[in-house]
Amino acid sequence: MSIKHRLRSKRNEELVGLAQAGLKEALDLLVERYYPMVYKICSKYYAPWAEFEDMVQSALVGLIKAVYYYQPDKSGFTSFAWRSVESELKSFLTFLNRKKNRLLTDAVSVDLLASSEDSEETGYSFEDRARSTARDALAEVIIEQVKEFLNELEINILQMWLDGFSYEEIQSALNVNFKKVDNTVQKVKRIVREKIDPLLLGSFFREG
6 torsion bin: left (phi>0), alpha (psi -120 to 50), beta (else): alpha
Each residue's pLDDT tens digit, 138-189? 566 677 888 889 999 999 998 888 777 788 888 889 999 988 988 998 888 8
Q: Which residues contact 193 (CB under 8 A, 6 or more apart)?
A: 107, 108
Each residue's pLDDT tens digit, 24-80? 888 889 999 999 999 999 998 877 667 888 889 989 999 999 999 999 888 899 999
Domains of the chain, CATH where assigned? 3-97 (1.10.1740.10), 111-207 (1.10.10)
| C-alpha span between 163 and 61 (Å, rounded) | 17
Q: Which residues contact 18 (CB under 8 A, 6 or more apart)?
A: 7, 10, 26
Q: Which pTM value belongs to this model?
A: 0.50
